[in-house]
């Protein structure tokens, strides 16, 4: 990528998009294009097509998406499938019409079958049934991958789909009903400490395993792959290491300094029991993560305090 290439980052106010903008700016890129939701409604096909025709970016990163944790995915099922299908279809088709050759579509590790072998290889896509709690979101993201593949095979585009594992970091959503587990537990531990509580409630049984990647590492991987001209269609991005939800909660308690005990609310769903990515392909490309879970949690705790105090 030339340093003055026009790079459109969608979703730049979200956790992933803002990390991409930080990483691009740090890399010396000077022509980064962003639009807020009120400036450009990505659900509006005509508006997206007109914008892309006018701007004709050289590169697009699709970080805009309707996202959330297990409860949000399970509750707002229609919103998750509809909004994600519209955003990606409008952007991918609009990019093609505007002659954009290079695009990166960001998905999620929940696109893989619920019970597939672990660690999860890219080739397991569409080999089994999905986890029920996030099936609408996963179906939309799978459609995005297939859109990219189809424009590559029919029109010779280079649209790459990157599947990150569970992400966390600055600008995350800390709302307890809709957030992912890591920001939720950070907030719960912090508030429990302030109130002097004796207990911290963790949803589910604490036994599911999850892999966590610091969002600035994801942004680094995405820019690395664009710079390298990576031309494969689907690629996992993660650490290749996972922990139980109980271990995650204990690490967060240590970082925050909350000394009460953990209580598990089994009335809440566990979701997939294990979800750890095989990152061999990414390693072969020459990229590896940098931020350990403890360091990443400390950095995120700082962001949480900044946002709430």
Interface residues with ligand GFB (CB under 6 A) are: 69-71, 73, 108, 110, 133-134, 137, 166, 179-181, 184-185, 202-204, 208, 210, 245, 268-271
- How far apart are CB 211 and ligand GFB at their closest, in Å? 9
Q: Which residues contact 288 (CB under 8 A, 6 or more apart)?
A: 282
- How far apart are CB 276 and ligand GFB at their closest, in Å? 11
Would you state the structure tokens that stand for residue 162, as one six-digit string? 């990157």
Nearer Cβ to ligand GFB (117/229) = 117
Instruction: Name the closest residue to ligand GFB (Cβ).
Output: 69
CA atoms within 13 A on the CB side of 307: 17
- How far apart are CB 192 and ligand GFB at their closest, in Å? 12
Which of 86, 64, 66 lies closest to 75 in space, CA to CA?
66
The single residue of 29, 137, 168, 289 carrying the catalytic annotation is 137
**β-bridge mates for residue 160, sequence order:** 104
Nearer Cβ to ligand GFB (32/142) = 142
Q: Strand 234-237 vs strand 158-164: parallel, antiparallel, or unpaired?
A: parallel
Catalytic residue status for 137: yes
- How far apart are CB 166 and ligand GFB at their closest, in Å? 4
Nearer Cβ to ligand GFB (52/255) = 255
Nearer Cβ to ligand GFB (1/201) = 201
Phi, psi of 159 (to 5 degrees): -105, 115
Nearer Cβ to ligand GFB (134/152) = 134
In angstroms, what CA-CA distances link 96 with 9, 58, 91, 99, 274? 16, 11, 8, 5, 36
Mark 220-252 as b/e (b = at least 16 C-beta within 10 Å). Answer: bbbbbbbeeebeebbbbbbbbbbbebbebbebb
- How far apart are CB 110 and ligand GFB at their closest, in Å? 3
- How far apart are CB 40 and ligand GFB at their closest, in Å? 25
**β-bridge mates for residue 61, sequence order:** 9, 104
Would you state the structure tokens that stand for residue 60, as one six-digit string? 């697009």
Nearer Cβ to ligand GFB (102/190) = 190
Which of 196, 205, 277 lies closest to 239 in space, CA to CA?
277
Catalytic residues: 137
């Amino acid at each position: 990528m030339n340093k003055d290439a026009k790079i459109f980052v969608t979703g730049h106010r979200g956790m992933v998009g803002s990390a991409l903008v930080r990483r691009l700016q740090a890399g010396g890129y000077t022509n980064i294009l962003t639009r807020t939701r009120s400036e450009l409604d990505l659900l509006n096909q005509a508006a997206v097509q007109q914008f892309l025709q006018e701007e004709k970016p050289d590169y697009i990163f699709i970080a805009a998406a309707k996202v959330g944790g297990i409860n949000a995915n399970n509750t707002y099922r229609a919103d998750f499938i509809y909004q994600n299908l519209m955003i990606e279809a409008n952007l991918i088709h609009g990019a093609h019409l505007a002659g954009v050759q290079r695009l990166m579509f960001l998905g999620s590790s929940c696109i893989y079958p619920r019970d597939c072998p672990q660690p999860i290889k890219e080739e397991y896509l569409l080999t089994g049934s999905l986890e029920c709690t996030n099936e609408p979101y996963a179906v939309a993201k799978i459609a995005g991958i297939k859109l990219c593949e189809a424009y590559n095979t029919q029109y010779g585009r280079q649209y790459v789909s990157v599947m990150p594992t569970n992400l966390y970091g600055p600008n995350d959503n800390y709302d307890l009903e809709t957030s992912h587990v890591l920001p939720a537990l950070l907030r719960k531990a912090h508030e429990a400490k302030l109130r002097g509580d004796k207990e911290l409630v963790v949803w589910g049984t604490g036994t599911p395993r999850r892999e966590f990647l610091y969002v600035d590492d994801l942004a680094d991987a995405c820019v690395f792959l664009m710079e390298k001209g990576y031309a494969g269609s689907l690629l996992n991005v993660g650490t290749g290491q996972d922990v139980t939800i109980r271990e995650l909660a204990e690490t967060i308690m240590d970082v925050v300094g909350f000394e009460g005990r953990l209580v598990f609310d089994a009335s809440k769903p566990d979701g997939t029991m294990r979800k750890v990515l095989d990152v061999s392909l990414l390693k072969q490309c020459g990229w590896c993560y940098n931020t350990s879970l403890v360091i990443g949690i400390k950095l995120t705790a700082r962001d949480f305090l900044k946002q709430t105090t």
